[in-house]
Amino acid sequence: MNRTNFNISNRAGKNLGLERCSLDIKDKLTTTASELPGINSNQTAVSKGNILIIDDQPNSLRLLTKILSEQGYKVRNVTSGNMALKSISLIVPDLLLLDVNMPQMNGYQVCQYLKADPNNCEIPVIFISALDDVFDKIQAFRVGGVDYITKPFQVEEVLVRIENQLRNVRLQKKLQISEAREREKSQKLIEALQKIQASQSQFHLEKMSSLGRLLAGVAHEINNPISVIDGNLYYANQYTQNLLRLVELYQKALPNTRSEGNKEPQTLQTRGSGNGENVHSSSYFLHPNTTTRIQEEIESIDLEFLKSDFPKLLNSMKVGAKRISEIVKSLQNFTQLDQGQLKTVDLHEGLESTLTVLRHRVETQLNDLAIEVIKEYGNLPRVECYKGLINQVFMNILSNAIDALEEDMRQIKSSKSHPTIQIRTALLDKQRVAISIADNGPGITEVVQQLMFDPFFTTKQVGSGTGLGLSISHQIIVEQHGGKLTCFSTPEQGAEFIIELPIRQSQ
């Protein structure tokens, strides 16, 4: 016998015997319970719990069951520790009323067993026993009990102690639920933050991707006129030097050939004067040697060709410079974000600027097939919008159309018609305008249409797209401008994106 069992047996003998104690309890409880009608009525209104009573004394077991049942508690009772453990494994109670001195397995051992079980360690245990020695109470708390009631007891005391412990259980459960909700909220916030950070990173990638496409287009468009100017600068410089040398010869000859006595001007036959044409000077006369040197220089520089070619060369350089100016103007128009300020703008101007930036992709394609852009512009009023953002939408949709047509042409479908992008604008009513951008590419499946505006969704190969272009476009049109962005497509019949915008933004 261990020390705990030995102490229990000794103290049990000192308390006049448990049987006699149980009879005293029965009398006391019967009298006390009948005197508390007010407590019964009040306690019934309180939410009750599931209580398991463990006591090897039948009289005590019956009385406690009767009192607690009358108070609205759901009560089960067993007479041994082993039976208690089996009952708990089937239905976990909200609270245990546990006697100490029981055969085979005493109350301390039952409590220790429960507290060692992770599934049942949170069940509050109130010891109720005739053992009133301080050692017994200390031992009860030491093994995990939450309270200790001595027999005989007062009904008010038992009910209040039970209710206090059940209230603590309810509060603890609420606290656990609250903590679980807070942890869930915290986890959701962490996940949302991670998504935002990932989105910001992807948005940055999308911006860099758009910037790369923009720079590639501008570089290609500017490269051609710059090449023209650069190539012609050499010849322009040669022509200029030749003319300056010829002028220099005239400057050297004219001051030394003035005739003081001869009033008749000397004629000078120049290159190409075989038809009798003469060049006359009203004040100066050229020495024959000087005339010969000038004539040789004229022939050397091929003056007739220079006179016809030099103006053409200068004109081509002028055209190239004008083209660069137009590209820069289109670039400024395209990149004018004005994200914090609404402006009334010409949507056709934005479309033209976008097409200028994308011209290198439209005009240079596979299989020597350029993409034909058909424009059917209606009579649109100026529209109040964020100009740079709307241009970004045009860029995203047109780039996707070009991507689709390029992919289609890579497959070399002989039956495919000429690749075409059609841009149409129209005034829907007094409050709305529409822009339609359609292509005759491979089209979009219904499944893809349902997902195409979701962030990060893309059908392109890894590294070819961020999956944010259409998502950002949808956000710009719908959320920031109160418009609509819809797609109509049938596989193998192309796709059409329709942008609807209000003419004036609601304040």
Same domain as 128, residue 7: yes
Is residue 58 within 8 Å of residue 102, measured between CB atoms? no
Q: What is the distance between the terminal CA atoms of the chain, rounded to a whole angstrom?
A: 88
Which of 153, 170, 190 is the last residue in one of the domains? 153
Same domain as 294, residue 357: no
Same domain as 364, residue 277: no
Tokens 């030491």 label which residue? 142
Residue 313 has pLDDT above 90, yes or no: no
Question: Is 204 inside any structural domain?
Answer: yes
Which of 299, 329, 359 is the last residue in one of the domains? 329
Distance from C-alpha of 439 to C-alpha of 404, rounded to nearest angstrom: 8
Question: Is 170 inside any structural domain?
Answer: no
Same domain as 88, residue 38: yes
Mean pLDDT of 343-359: 88
Run of H or E residues at 142: helix 134-142
Residue 332 has pLDDT above 70, yes or no: no
Question: Is 183 inside any structural domain?
Answer: no
Run of H or E residues at 206: helix 155-253
Same domain as 420, residue 303: no
Question: Is 10 inside any structural domain?
Answer: yes
Per DSSP, what are the bridge partners of residue 425?
435
Same domain as 74, residue 125: yes
Tokens 């599931």 label which residue? 50
Give pLDDT tens digits for 192-247. 888 777 766 666 666 666 666 666 666 766 777 788 788 888 888 888 888 888 88
Question: Is 44 inside any structural domain?
Answer: yes
Task: Write out the residue range of the structural domain in which residue 57 sits.
Answer: 3-153
CATH number assigned to the domain comprising residue 69: 3.40.50.2300
CATH number assigned to the domain comprising residue 452: 3.30.565.10
Question: Is 171 inside any structural domain?
Answer: no
Is residue 498 within 8 Å of residue 434, measured between CB atoms? yes
Mean pLDDT of 371-380: 92
Same domain as 395, residue 375: yes
Which of 296, 329, 362 is the last residue in one of the domains? 329
DSSP symbols for 69-101 = HHTT-EEEEESSHHHHHHHHHHS--SEEEE-S-
Same domain as 128, residue 256: no
For 246-285, the three-class secondary structure string (H helix, E strand, C coil) is HHHHHHHHHHHCCCCCCCCCCCECCCCCCCCCCECCCCCC
Same domain as 405, residue 386: yes
Q: Is 346 exposed, middle or buried (0-12, 13-18, 19+ CB in 10 A)?
A: middle
Distances (CA, A) of 56 to 84, 97, 100, 124, 325: 11, 12, 9, 20, 103
**Inter-axis angle of helices 58-70 and 18-34, to 10 degrees?**
20
- Tallying the residues shown for the chain, one arrives at 507
DSSP state of 117: -
> What pLDDT was estimated at residue 290?
65
Give pLDDT tens digits for 267-293. 444 444 444 444 444 445 555 666 788
The Cα angle at residue 128 between residues 126 and 134, in degrees rounded to 5? 95
Question: Is 167 inside any structural domain?
Answer: no
Joined tokens for residue 138: 């200390």
**For the chain, how many structural domains are there in total?**
3
Same domain as 275, residue 424: no
> What pLDDT was estimated at residue 42?
43
Residue 417 has pLDDT above 60, yes or no: yes
Q: Specify the amino acid at residue 109.
A: Q
Q: Which of these, 20, 65, 73, lies nearest to 46 by C-alpha position? A: 73
For 386-450, the three-class secondary structure string (H helix, E strand, C coil) is CHHHHHHHHHHHHHHHHHHHHHHHHCCCCCCCCCEEEEEEEECCCCEEEEEEEECCCCCCHHHHH
Distances (CA, A) of 318 to 220, 326, 504: 19, 12, 41
Residue 375 has pLDDT above 70, yes or no: yes
Same domain as 314, residue 370: no
DSSP state of 475: I
Distance from C-alpha of 51 to C-alpha of 257, rounded to nearest angstrom: 137
Distance from C-alpha of 232 to C-alpha of 454, rounded to nearest angstrom: 51
Q: Which of these, 303, 402, 388, lies nearest to 353 by C-alpha position? A: 388
Residue 413 has pLDDT above 60, yes or no: no
Joined tokens for residue 81: 């520790």
Give pLDDT tens digits for 136-151. 999 999 999 999 998 8
Residue 34 has pLDDT above 60, yes or no: no
Instruction: State percent of the chain over pLDDT 70.
Output: 71
> What pLDDT was estimated at residue 421?
93
Same domain as 486, residue 372: yes
- Of residues 312 and 54, the one with the higher pLDDT is 54
Most confident of 172-176, 318-322, 344-348: 344-348
Question: Is 24 inside any structural domain?
Answer: yes
Average confidence score pLDDT of the chain: 77
> What pLDDT was estimated at residue 223?
76
